């Protein structure tokens, strides 16, 4: 049984994330989307909200071998605890490479039995990031087409509420 985790902040989940999760679900028997907290980033949705949205996204995409969980320690410890052999990461252009390369080698040092597998992002999402989506919302723009339908409504409400107040 090949189990993979897809770790990330998912704040919010984008169409780029969904693409990587869908493709992972075709390769691995089971995929666990692991929501982590990145203290270096200003958050838009709470971890609980992100989990709820991701569960809805997974349901609407009919991904029956994907589940959503959260973690607060090291991603390799989460992988070990769930008997996952693989960490899947999406790679966009060159900008992601240095950070992801460093993280993959650090994870290899910490847990040599776990492999990091990179999937190249789909061309149409190569520009897309949660940070850009957050910026669109912050400045009152509409993120339609960039996030799954389940995320769009709650995101638009954030626009109305004003992200500065979060
Ligand atoms: O989507 P992001 O913001 O790049 O993901 C952030 C997160 C929280 C998933 C990532 O930073 C993480 O896994 N942090 C936990 C600590 C860890 O395992 N770091 C990697 C090796 S030092």
pLDDT in tens, 84-110: 999 999 999 877 899 999 999 999 999
Q: pTM score, two decimals?
A: 0.94
Domain that holds residue 98: 3-165
Q: Which tokens sit at 91?
A: 């790679």
If 0-12 CB within 10 Å is exposed, 13-18 middle and 19+ buried, where does residue 121 land?
Answer: buried
What percentage of the chain exceeds 70 in pLDDT? 95
Give the residue among 87, 68, 67 at the shortest CA–CA distance from 77: 87
Give the CATH number, domain containing residue 12. 3.40.50.620
Higher pLDDT, 162 or 99: 99
Residue nearest to atom 11 of ligand 1 (CA): 38
User: Would residue 130 show up in a list of annotated catalytic residues for this protein?
Assistant: yes
Mean residue pLDDT of the chain comes to 93
**Over 90: is that where the pLDDT of 39 sits?**
no
Which atom from ligand 1 is nearest to the alpha carbon of 36?
Answer: 8
How far apart are the C-alpha atoms of 121 and 139, rounded to whole Å? 26
Ligand 1 centroid–CA 16 distance in Å is 18
74 lines ligand 1 (CB under 6 A): yes
pLDDT given at position 162? 52
CB 103 near ligand 1, within 6 Å = yes
Q: Is 43 a catalytic residue?
A: no
Domain count, the chain: 1
Q: What is the pLDDT of residues 137-156, one digit of tens each?
A: 988 899 999 999 999 999 99
């Amino acid at each position: 049984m090949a189990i993979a985790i897809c770790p990330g902040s998912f704040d919010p989940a984008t169409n780029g994330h969904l693409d990587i999760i869908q493709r992972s679900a075709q390769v691995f028997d089971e995929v666990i989307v692991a929501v982590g907290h990145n203290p270096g980033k200003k958050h838009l949705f709470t971890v609980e909200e992100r989990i709820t949205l991701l569960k809805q996204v997974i349901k609407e995409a009919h991904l029956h071998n994907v589940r959503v969980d959260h973690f607060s320690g090291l991603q390799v410890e989460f992988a070990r605890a769930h008997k996952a052999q693989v960490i899947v990461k999406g790679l966009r252009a060159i900008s992601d490479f240095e950070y992801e390369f460093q993280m993959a080698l650090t994870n290899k040092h910490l847990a040599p039995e776990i492999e990091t597998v990179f999937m190249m992002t789909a061309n149409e999402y190569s520009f897309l990031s949660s940070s850009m989506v957050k910026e669109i919302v912050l400045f009152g723009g509409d993120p339609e087409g960039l996030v799954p339908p389940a995320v769009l409504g709650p995101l638009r409400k954030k626009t109305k509420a004003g992200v500065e107040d979060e």
